Chains A and B, each alone.
Chain A
């Protein structure tokens, strides 16, 4: 296990379609984050898991977005009825579960293009 893995790396979809992304965190990392990044902007927080528990979801996130981490390992992010404004890089990160070291390790991201 060499890092956080995200699939697919690229996704092109038609407006109105549903898409699902997968993130495999570093083994034994209990925290998992989803971020969205558009060109020239910083990563925008979407949601965060501690093991299988979803602790927070951004208020900016519409009900079309949902995330799961059913067994506390990999996570999926689903976007329903995609819109052109959803086009962005979706980043997943994981971190260890002890307070003294909360460095986040990022995956390569999934670039979503909605046409």
Chain B
């Protein structure tokens, strides 16, 4: 069974204080690892897709990296508007094609 574990559950940062969120996964035949951002009262918003170990993607203050067992979302010099829940999800191959398995998320709060 595919499993995704995110840590920490919650992270409080001061504005400008860089940090990383972790996503550990167990999946049979990874087809892709996805990062989403979710604001209160909204649906998850797509950020990145990573396909293979060693791959990196960047968007503004966010950078996502991937190894064979985990992914990191690095946040550089965060601002209060980066406060949100960050979700990680994996897609496996085989008969579960199309299905995403999500982690529980990391709640990020950035204080001014």
Decide whether A and B assemble into one complex.
no
Interface residues in chain B, defined as those with a beta carbon under 8 Å from any beta carbon in chain A: none
Interface residues in chain A, defined as those with a beta carbon under 8 Å from any beta carbon in chain B: none
